[in-house]
Structure 1
Amino acid sequence: MVSFENVTKSFNSRETGRKAFRALDNISYSVPRGAITGIIGRSGAGKSTLVRLVNGLERPSEGRVIVDGTDVAALDEVALRSVRRSIGMIFQHFNLLSSRTVYDNVAMPLEIAGVAKQDIKKRIEPLIDLVGLSERTRHYPAQLSGGQKQRVGIARALASEPKLLLSDEATSALDPETTQQILGLLKTINRDLGLTVLLITHEMEVVKAVTSRVAVMDKGQIVESGRTFNVFTAPEHETTRSMLAALPGGSLPDWIGRQVIAAPKPGSNALLRLRFFGETADQPLVSQLMTVLESPVNIIAGTVDEIAGEPYGTLYVAYSADPAVMQKADQFYAQTGLNAEVVGYVA
């Protein structure tokens, strides 16, 4: 649906006029049709610049941006307006007109396009119902909550019947409960309308909850990408690992982290991170491990969650660092497929 081909974007220095800042550096990446794909990175990573290339608000310094078979950067303004009608956009701060009602805000793109009033009504009323605002049709933005305003923004983005929906930090200004409601709505839209969604965010929780594929950005480059589940369960790049550590259960509690040493000492315990997914997700492997080791296993911390709809769990455990015990444990992990990583040692 969207393809970035060797895309570089540089911005000129205001003082010298020379290209002083490279926001995107030779990016090649494809967004599959019909999926929800996440682009995640810290502030300044280049994600918002990337999404602005898709709808032609920015043009690449080098490379091509292909949207549904069309090279967006090669279009003149007239042709670009036509392409933009097939691309919906949801903003972080809603961008609603305070003087227009819910209905009128949603209808605005169609009015600008010159669609007849009776046709606007036929298209807008089902959309307002879809986002759950049928009882708020005549309300103004000042009368709505943040979540309701974002629902208006989503309905407006869908008014022109786009093939692609861009979401740029659409949940960043919302509380956690409202964020989950909006993400649920995006999943419904993706499923029921078959709409391709490109979601830009700095929140790992958002990516985990709603996307099927993800690309991680750092310093203008995509440093890791793939199925969301694979990237979350086996991160390869330091940026990904660092961002995942912010998730609940993603890192050791501080009280135990302060005690961790790099090498074992006489009588110390090994501290391991166990990851449960796939066939290991619903097996009583910890109780089996205790039996196999014939040694106490101390459960330090853990969490059970879903990533892109698939079960996933992390558990921190400690047991004797005696070589014989460690060997038994390694054999157990090899036989069961349980993912285990020694993260250090504790007294």
Structure 2
Amino acid sequence: MVAFEAVTKRFGRDDENQFTALDGIDLSVARGAITGIIGRSGAGKSTLIRLVNGLERATSGRVVVDGVEVGGLSESGLRDLRREIGMIFQHFNLLSSRTAFENVALPLEIAGLPAKAIRDKVGPLLDLVGLGDKANRYPSELSGGQKQRIGIARALATSPKLLLSDEATSALDPETTQSILDLLKRINAELGLTVLLITHEMEVVKTIASDVAVIDRGRIVEKGRTFDVFTDPKHETTRALLSGLAGAKLPEAIARKLAATPQAVSRAVVRVTFFGETAQQPLVSRLIQELGSEVNIIAGTIDEIAGEPYGSLVIAYSATPEVLARAERFYCQTGLQTEVLGYVA
């Protein structure tokens, strides 16, 4: 649905004062998918998304939306393109003087639809976002989550093929955020709508995005399936962004006692990660049988990433050469991902 081909965007008129916001971006957004763009503040996320609907023009390279090169469009061509692209914003951007119905109707009025066609379109959209009973309410009478739902209904008014989300949940509390994410997932599934969202909230991407790209200082440093990137991040920026979502954490009291090498009588402290088929199998009991040694469970977590199960345990067992060799064989046979955190007496 969207392709960025060697896209660079610079701001400033002369070479001395130019700032490169995007530097050689190559990225494809699959039709019908929910794709997340994550990165720190100032990484270039907002600039990237503004290139899609022509609010900014690339300095070099091509931005192609549904087969149309955005940079080559006239103003009238851009207006036609924008009717096929909905956008939802962090701070809702509703007009305070218009009711919920009138806010949703605005893009249809601009497009010149007759009043009856507007009524026939807006009513079902308000029902879709669960606010059919709030049609005559003004933004000041709505909660943050309700305002964002109105914003989503407005973005869908022109029956777009693509929905852009610019930090759409960052101003909402966790419970409201989850309800908005559930709504976006439902819209994606029911309408087949392609969703491109930018966010600095890893939980948002983990919950709904099938694919993700990590941007840092204007460059894409990592991209792929959300599950693959989140469970095995390659780039240091990705690892830093995901540090708050890491698997089971080692208790501080044990972390202080860790040694890098085993002593005469030591226990290995190991983080074991379960995903895919391994998440459904009773591998801990099998590990105990295989080792012939006690296994202590120190910490654990179970989660889902992009709808796929994911679990992590921190365990400890004897660090004798025989037990360590058995453990290594078991991990190789089962495909478990492991990390030796250290050794404790």
Give the alignment's TM-score, normalised by structure 2: 0.96
Asked whether the 8 Å contact 2:290–2:330 carries over to 1, the reply is yes
Provide the residue aligned with 2:309 in structure 1.
311
Match of 2:226 in 1: 228
C-alpha distance in 2 between matches for 1:116 and 1:104: 14
Give identity over the alignment, percent. 66
Distance in 2, matches of 1:125 and 1:160, equals 14
Structure 1 stretches (4+) deviating beyond 2 angstroms?
16-20, 248-269, 343-347
Map of 2:129 onto structure 1: 131
Shift of 1:219: 1.4
The secondary structure found in structure 2 opposite 1:56 is coil
Q: Distance in 1 between matches of 2:148 and 2:247?
A: 30
Matched, 1:10 2:3: no
Structure 1 letter corresponding to 2:172: L
Match of 2:284 in 1: 286
Contact 1:248 1:303 in 2 (8 A): no
Aligned to 2:269: 271
Tell me whether 24-33 or 216-225 shows the greater mean CA deviation: 216-225
User: How far off is 1:336 after superposition?
Assistant: 1.5
Task: Tell me the residue number matched to 2:186.
Answer: 188
Deviations along 1:53-89, whole A, 9 cap, x unmatched?
Answer: 1011111111010001111011122211111111000
SS of residue matched to 2:58: coil
Q: 1 CA distance for matches of 2:251 and 2:146? A: 36
User: How big is each residue's C-alpha offset from its partner over 1:279-308, in whole Å with a ceiling of 9 and x where there is no partner?
Assistant: 111111112111211222121111111111
**Would the alpha carbon gap of residues 247 and 97 (structure 1) be closer, same or farther in structure 2, given more than 3 Å must change?**
same
Aligned mates of 2:310, 2:249 — CA distance in 1 = 15
**Are 1:38 and 1:201, in contact at CA under 8 Å, matched by a contact in 2?**
yes
Instruction: With the length of structure 1 as denominator, give the TM-score of the two structures.
Output: 0.95
Matches for 1:1-347 after TM superposition, within 5 Å: 1-12=1-12, 18-247=16-245, 249=247, 251-347=249-345
Code of the aligned partner of 1:313: G
Q: Which segment drifts farther, 248-257 or 137-146?
A: 248-257
RMSD (Å) for aligned C-alpha atoms: 1.5
- Shift of residue 310 of structure 1? 1.1
Residue 20 of structure 1 and its aligned partner are, at CA, apart by 2.8
Letter matched to residue 346 of structure 1: V
User: Which letter maps to 2:188?
Assistant: N
Counterparts of 1:257 and 1:85 in 2: how far apart (Å)?
55
Q: Distance in 2 between the 1:300 and 1:101 partners?
A: 55
8 Å contact kept, 1:273–1:343: yes
Would the aligned equivalents of 2:248 and 2:271 in 1 still touch at CA under 8 Å?
no
Letter paired with 1:259:
K
Q: How many residues align?
A: 345
Aligned partners of 2:41, 2:341: CA distance in 1, in Å? Answer: 29
| Deviation for aligned residue 1:344 | 2.5
Specify whether residues 144 and 243 from structure 1 end up closer, same or farther in structure 2 by C-alpha distance, changes over 3 A only: same
Name whichever of 226-235 and 61-70 sits farther off.
226-235
- The one-letter amino acid paired with 2:28 is S
Contact 1:123 1:159 survives alignment (8 Å): yes
Q: Distance in 2 between matches of 1:102 and 1:302?
A: 45
Distance 1:261 1:62, change over 3 A: farther
User: Structure 1 residue 6: deviation in Å?
Assistant: 0.3
- Unaligned regions of 5+ residues in structure 2, if any? none
Instruction: Give 1:2's aligned amino acid.
Output: V
Letter in 2 for 1:344: G
